[in-house]
Structure 1
Amino acid sequence: MSVSVDKDLLQMTAKELLAFIKSVKERMVKEGQIRRRTELPSIADEEKPYDLPQNWEWVRLGDVGQIVGGGTPKTNIEDYWQTGEGGIPWLTPADLTDYKDTYISSGRRSITESGLRNSSTQLLPKGSVLFSSRAPIGYVAIASTNLCTNQGFKSVVPYCKETNKYLYWCLKYKAKEINENASGTTFKEVSGSDMEAQIIPLPPLAEQQRIVKILDQLSDIKSSLVEESNESLRIISEYRSIILQDGIQGKLLPQIESDEPTSVLWEKCIEQKDSIVNKKARNIEELPQITDDEHPYKLPSGWSFLRLGEVVNFIGGQQPEKSTFRYEEAEGYIRLIQIRDYKSDSFKTFVPIEKARKFCTKDDVMIGRYGPPIFQILRGLEGAYNVALIKAEPRYSILSKEYLYFLLKNRVLLELLESLSQRTAGQDGIDMKTLKSFVVGIPPVAEQERIVSKLVDIMEILDSIESELLKSKETAEKLYESLLRETFNPLDKV
């Protein structure tokens, strides 16, 4: 969004620009547009992070713009809120969640003139720099029209409108620091006085425009790279799902006639319950016979349709008392595995071995019972597992753990369970009856091994491509952050 700039302003040094801004501010006070405020403290030498180039100046944010908060009209008074089109745009920080554009003209809701007059919200002029000051701190955008915000903003109305894009980029850089220095009990918040006191470098306006042009270009390049990476990652995710579905429906590899059919081995499993696993499985829940109309796809040669509950034992976890938890390894303690541990080791928890009842090994197939997202299929950790996890254990030698891992990643099963998920203490939970009754095709054991081998090879290739795309995306983000640091704090090399 380009703006025409007075040529005289472009020829000013930062000191002269500040004098001009001060004269604008004085005029606005005299005209009653703003109230006269106490002079902000001068900037001491020790507050200046580095030496500025010639003709630049250190300033406080309140020296170059009015800091304006917001408010919320009473929600129970209908006259304050605009229904349908029209009204005054009214924004909350939620309206900037995942918002990528520089400029914004509206949010989810609008208020009426009456709502504006009868609340603490204020009308921000076009060109104001919006800055979310709580929940969360640090969203930045420029108003492309007159609008209002709720109390979750401390926005900047520049005294010299031509500086707004530079101030936007300043606040994009300063957001992290402002958030780190914020205070609050229930949640962190930035006050108006905190925003006024922020120290920023002010270059001449011509230099501001050059900086803005470079940062805009870099932002566009970064956004393009990130969008391309995200699209490629989406395609890989979709391809991964398609390949997996092909694998568990017998479409990935040809069937081999000499493989012992699943039906033959299934009869043997029913007759011969001689393994430890089978002894545990003797009290199997009776499940209804599978009818022809339940067949989800054309069955490949040698395969059999069975219900998951017939071939898999689902073993729920156990929750030791929180008073027994410790967060460092110790003799006589075992790791308590939780869903989050499969993504990060940052929250390791340990419990006394004698208090643990349910255990898993690294090759066990585990299911995230609650969500969102529900029905995460996990493996790779060893210890005792809590109530949010279920161990999926093959009942018989008819099914390998490796094949079961891929079998449970069935997209159709996930979508079904998501649609039937039950709310438990604010979390989505798995409908166990549906899970056990779900009909799956079981290939001959030899074919299971071939399918697993092929899927592992394909997934490794996809993982490698995905890793490179994520690195490319991360590099674009780092270059962007690096140039921001170099622009606004050349001594910050972190």
Structure 2
Amino acid sequence: MSMSFHFKFIPLTFIKKEEEIRKQIKNTIILKHFFDKHERSLKLCDVIESTQYGYNASAQKSGRNKFLRISDITDGKVKWSSVPFCDCKDESTYMLNSGDLLIARTGGTTGKSFLISEPPSLSIYAGYLIRIRANKESKPAFINLFLNSYAYWSQIVSLNKGEFRPSINANKLKNLSFPYCTDEEQSDAIKLSKGVKVSGYDQLEVKIARALSGYDSCKNMLSECLAQQENVKLLYKSILSDAIQGKGTENWRKNTKFEPANNLFNKVYSQKLELISEKKIKKEKKLAPVLNNTVPFLIPDNWEWVRLGDLCSKTGSGSTPRGGKSAYIEQGIKFIRSQNVYNDGLRLSDIAYISDEIHKKMQGTKVQPHDLLLNITGGSIGRCCIVNTIFDEGNINQHVAIIRPVFTLLTEYLHIVICSSYFQNEIINVQTGAGREGLPKNKMDNILIPLPPEKEILEIKKKVKLSIKLLEQLEREVLYSEIESKKLLISVINESF
């Protein structure tokens, strides 16, 4: 009675090339054929001479021996001219020969293998690798075929289930299930893996072709999902762009009476003067007027171009407490960093805390409800969120800026502007620093803002909110399609195994 073996398609983060994934699928189907054909299977130890851990030493720029490490193996290839050296005191134990197989025994690429072919003379290998060497009854290329199949990976992943740091040792390797094959069958399997037609395997070749066709169909579905996700992103950008150019409210303007934006700007200016006279905010240097020849795009006649700083009672970044991270405590005042700021709101799962004493010393950057927080440095520069009305107390570090509109009416609208492609491009254009990854206050304050009339701001917020709600529904549907497509792909491949 034939034994039955079941293997699983395992998505591996370090195998990304389609050609490589297709090879793994093909190899698994070939091996499954031989597992099912014979009444017995082997262990890996039955087809190899030995296992040997690598040599522990520091890499050198020069030396007697080429010293091959995991990091030197990229996309199944080794650039021997770039491999460092060492001086090995036991060359006979660690010497590499053609046909040797190396397997990574720890880390993110645990289980990944490499077939040695014509290594430089006196080459050896490093300690995080295990060498296996085929015995006289086995072909290195056939063992390599096994090591590049889901028949192998199913077992490796199963051995590391629940492990925080994946690893494999020589004993575990030796006990992996391996298909029994005659010498001729090993040769046939190697040829089939390379796509060579072999007499007597017509049904197997049809099965391989069907599985790869199913895989390609599922991948096409996934590609369509990814394309739809990109379309959702483009739609989002388009909604914001139309909003800040007045295109989304064009029909509304034709049928509505309202005061021009200049009236709103005058209200903002008067309120700032009142706040200064009450000593609630400091008087700052007046920003330059906006010249017609400097505006980035056309806006409706009753709108105004203004500068960001003119609409705000406060702008500016925070600072890092003395002592840096050592000043953080387990509970206290929320200390907001760039990793907490996202366009859809604050994410507080990894929020830091500072003492009330430090918070009082940093009173100039206390966060308030309706504030806008903008990341002004690093890879997340430009991300911006609105601080909601139920926020209690917090402060910010030097990578985050507060933008506090004079009127809360402006908060949501300014968030729309800041998240738009226009403002994001302005950030790129005006930022400074060694890596061009910094937006200073003076540059930020001077970024131009298209200001609509007061009533139109309310209409823009309403229309954008509705559009974003519909877009989020579409995004959820696309995400669901992607998840289902991935499930289908796994199911289709597993049925072939």
- Per-residue Cα deviation, 1:409-446 (whole angstroms, up to 9, x for no partner): 1323323433554558x994324332222122111111
Call closer, same or farther: CA 1:341–1:290 in 2, change over 3 Å: closer
Aligned to 2:380: 373
* Alpha-carbon distance, 1:229 to partner: 1.9
Structure 2 residues not aligned, in runs of 5+: 1-22, 89-93, 194-203
Partner secondary structure for residue 350 of structure 2: coil
* Alpha-carbon distance, 1:340 to partner: 2.6
Aligned to 2:16: none
Structure 1 residues not aligned, in runs of 5+: 26-35, 38-61, 81-89, 97-103, 489-494
* Alpha-carbon distance, 1:304 to partner: 0.8
Aligned to 1:42: none
Aligned to 1:13: 38
TM-score, length basis structure 2: 0.64
Matched, 1:111 2:80: yes
Task: Give 1:200's match in structure 2, choosing from 162, 170, 176.
Answer: 176
- Per-residue Cα deviation, 1:266-293 (whole angstroms, up to 9, x for no partner): 2343345466599545513332232333
Matched, 1:355 2:366: no
* Alpha-carbon distance, 1:394 to partner: 0.9
Task: Give 1:229's match in structure 2, choosing from 225, 230, 233.
Answer: 225
Instruction: Check whether the contact 1:69–1:121 (CA below 8 A) recurs between aligned residues.
Output: no
1:477-492 equivalent positions in 2, closer than 5 A: 477=486
* Alpha-carbon distance, 1:404 to partner: 0.8
Call closer, same or farther: CA 1:179–1:153 in 2, change over 3 Å: farther
Instruction: Check whether the contact 1:359–1:384 (CA below 8 A) recurs between aligned residues.
Output: yes
Aligned to 1:403: 413
Provide the C-alpha distance between the structure 1 equivalents of 2:34 and 2:267, rounded to a whole number of angstroms: 90
Aligned to 1:263: 262
Aligned to 1:414: 424
Give the letter for the 1:262 counterpart: A
Call closer, same or farther: CA 1:291–1:273 in 2, change over 3 Å: closer
Partner secondary structure for residue 238 of structure 2: helix
Call closer, same or farther: CA 1:274–1:419 in 2, change over 3 Å: closer
1:2-401 equivalent positions in 2, closer than 5 A: 13=38, 15=40, 22=46, 25=48, 36-37=49-50, 104=75, 106=77, 110-112=79-81, 133=105, 136-138=108-110, 140=112, 159-160=138-139, 161-162=141-142, 164-167=144-147, 168-173=149-154, 190=167, 193=170, 196=173, 199-202=175-178, 220=216, 223-254=219-250, 255-256=253-254, 258-271=257-270, 273=272, 276=275, 280-312=280-312, 313-320=314-321, 322-323=325-326, 325-327=328-330, 333-342=332-341, 344-356=347-359, 357=363, 358-361=365-368, 363-380=370-387, 382=391, 383-387=393-397, 388-396=399-407, 400-401=410-411
* Alpha-carbon distance, 1:408 to partner: 0.7
Call closer, same or farther: CA 1:181–1:11 in 2, change over 3 Å: closer
Instruction: Check whether the contact 2:315–2:401 (CA below 8 A) recurs between aligned residues.
Output: yes
- Per-residue Cα deviation, 1:50-98 (whole angstroms, up to 9, x for no partner): xxxxxxxxxxxx6xxx888999986689xx9xxxxxxxxx9965987xx
Call closer, same or farther: CA 1:335–1:260 in 2, change over 3 Å: same
Provide the C-alpha distance between the structure 2 equivalents of 1:458 and 1:150, rounded to a whole number of angstroms: 59
Task: Give 2:456's match in structure 1, choosing from 441, 447, 465.
Answer: 447
- Corresponding residue pairs, total: 415
Give the letter for the 2:109 counterpart: I
Provide the C-alpha distance between the structure 1 equivalents of 2:247 and 2:61, rounded to a whole number of angstroms: 57
* Alpha-carbon distance, 1:171 to partner: 4.9
Provide the C-alpha distance between the structure 2 equivalents of 1:349 and 1:435, rounded to a whole number of angstroms: 26
Call closer, same or farther: CA 1:413–1:348 in 2, change over 3 Å: closer
Aligned-residue RMSD, C-alpha:
5.1
* Alpha-carbon distance, 1:111 to partner: 3.1
Greater relative contact order structure (CA < 8 Å, 6+ sep): 2
TM-score, length basis structure 1: 0.64
Give the letter for the 1:367 counterpart: L
Provide the C-alpha distance between the structure 1 equivalents of 2:177 and 2:475, rounded to a whole number of angstroms: 40
